[in-house]
Chains A and B, each alone.
Chain A
C-alpha cells in the first residue's frame, strides 16, 4: 500500500501513466486480437449451445470486470474519504463509466445469448437481475458525481455512495436469489453444472486477462484526461480571477 501512495500525487501519476500507457495499449490490442481469434475460430462449438457459446467469452469476463470495477470504486472512495487522495476522486470519476459499460456489455451479450438458449431476450433470472441492479448502482454513482457545480462535493458524495453500495451488494444479491427461487422454481438448466473443458477454459481466461488489460488501459487513460480537465478548470478560474 505504501508503494501505491506515491502515485497519489497527480503530477507523479501522470508521469507514470505516460510511460506505461503506450506499452499497455499495444499489449491490450495484441492480447485482445489473439483472444478473439481463439474465441471465434479455435474454441470448439458446444454440443448443446452450438455457436452461441462463443458469446460467453465476452459475457463472463465482462461480468467479472463490472463486479471488480465496483470494488475498485469502493476502494477509491475509501481512500478519498480516509486519506483525501486527490487522485482517488479523479480515478473514480474515470472508472465508473468504464465499469458501467462492462455491466451493460454483460447484460446485452447475456440477452443475445438468452434469445436462442432460453427463448427470450430477458428472463427474471437471479443473476441477470442482480447484474441489472449493479448497473443501476453504477448509474447512480455516475449521476451523483456529476450533479454538483463543485466537483469536489460530487466526488465525496459519490465516494460515500460507493461504500454504502458495496455493503449493500451482497444483501441485494442474497435477496434477489431468494426472490427468484420464490417466484420461479428452477426451470433453467445452467451451463456451469459440468466442469468446463480446457478447450473452452483457456480462451475464457485469456479473454478475461485481455479485457482486464483493456479495463486498466481505459481507466488510466481516462484518469489522465480527468487530471488535464481539472487543470484546465483551475487555470480557467485563475484566468477569470486575474481579469476581474
Chain B
C-alpha cells in the first residue's frame, strides 16, 4: 500500500507543479459543451432535453484527451521500467495511476458539470443527479481509458487509436449516466441508475488493473 500512496502522491504532485495540463482539459470540456447550443440553437426546452447527454459525452472526450500521456511520459523517462522491477504488484501501480487520473480529471469534471448544466436550463434536482452520476461513473472511464492507454503505449497514432479502443467500452457507462437524468425527468428516482453505474465501476475496478498490468508488462518486454 505504501508504494500505491507514494505513486499516487507523486502523480498528484507532478500535476500540482504544472496545473496548466488540467486547466486545458477543463477548458476543452467547457468549450466543447458551449459549442452545442451554438450548433443546435438556443431553444430552452431542446437544450434541457439534450443537456445530460451532451455533458456526459463532453466529459468522456475530455477524460480521453489527457489519457494519452498517462503512461507515455513514464515510458519515456524510464519510470515504467522501475515500476516493472519494483517488489510490489504492478496491478497496484496501474490502479494508482488511474486513481491519480480520476482525481485530476474525473473529479473536477464532475464538480464543473452542474454549473454548465445551469446554462442548459436544468432544474436543481437534475443538476444534483448530473453531479452524482458523473462522480460515480467517471472512475470507470479512467480505468477503461487507462487500459486503452496501456495497450496503445508506443503505438503509431496512439491518440486516435486510444479513443477507438476506449469509446465502445465506455458505452454502458454513458447510457446509464445520461439515462439517469432522463428517468428523473420522467418522474422516477435515479437510485437504480446510480447503483448500476457503481456496479460498472466495481467491475472495472476488479478487472482492468490486471489487464493494464499485463499490457504494461508486454510493453516493457
Contact = CB atoms under 8 A, between A and B. Distances in A.
Residue in B157, B169, B183 with the greatest tally of chain A CB atoms within 10 Å? B169
B210 to A, nearest CB: 10
A147 B172 contact: no
A123 B167 CA distance: 21
Contact of A161 (B151, B154, B183): B151
Interface residues of B, number: 31
B151 A157 contact: yes
A contact patch SS? helix
B contact patch SS? helix
B176 A148 contact: no
Contacts of B151: 144, 157, 160-161
Contacts of A168: 169, 172
Interface string B120-151: 00000000000000000000000000010001
A165 B169 contact: yes
B175 A179 contact: yes
Interface in A43-85: 81
B35 interface: no
B154 A148 contact: yes
Interface stretch (B9-17, B72-80, B87-95, B158-166): B158-166
Contacts of A178: 175-176, 179
Contacts of B147: 164
Contacts, number: 79
Nearest to B156: A147
Contact of A136 (B152, B168, B176): B168
Contacts of A147: 152, 155-158, 161
A14 interface: no
Interface stretch (A94-102, A169-177, A188-196, A198-206): A169-177
Interface stretch (B36-44, B56-64, B101-109, B212-220): B212-220
A160 B168 CA distance: 15
Given A157-B218, A175-B176, A182 B157 contact: no
Interface size class on chain A is: 20 to 34
B191 to A, nearest CB: 15
Given A153-B154, A160-B214, A182 B182 contact: yes
B45 interface: no
Given A140-B165, A161-B165, A171 B172 contact: yes
Residue in A154, A168, A176 with the greatest tally of chain B CB atoms within 10 Å? A168
A175 B200 CA distance: 11
B211 A164 contact: yes
26 contacts: A133-B168, A137-B168, A140-B161, A140-B168, A143-B161, A143-B164, A144-B152, A147-B161, A153-B219, A156-B218, A157-B155, A157-B218, A160-B211, A163-B211, A164-B169, A164-B207, A167-B207, A168-B169, A171-B172, A171-B200, A172-B168, A175-B175, A175-B176, A176-B175, A178-B179, A179-B179
**Shortest beta-carbon contacts, A-B, top 3:** A175-B172, A147-B155, A136-B168
Interface of B: 147, 151-152, 154-158, 161, 164-165, 167-169, 171-172, 175-176, 179, 182-183, 200, 203, 207-208, 211, 214-215, 218-219, 221
Given A147-B156, A178-B175, 16 more contacts: A139-B164, A140-B161, A143-B161, A143-B164, A147-B155, A147-B158, A154-B155, A156-B218, A164-B147, A164-B211, A168-B172, A172-B168, A175-B171, A175-B175, A176-B171, A178-B179
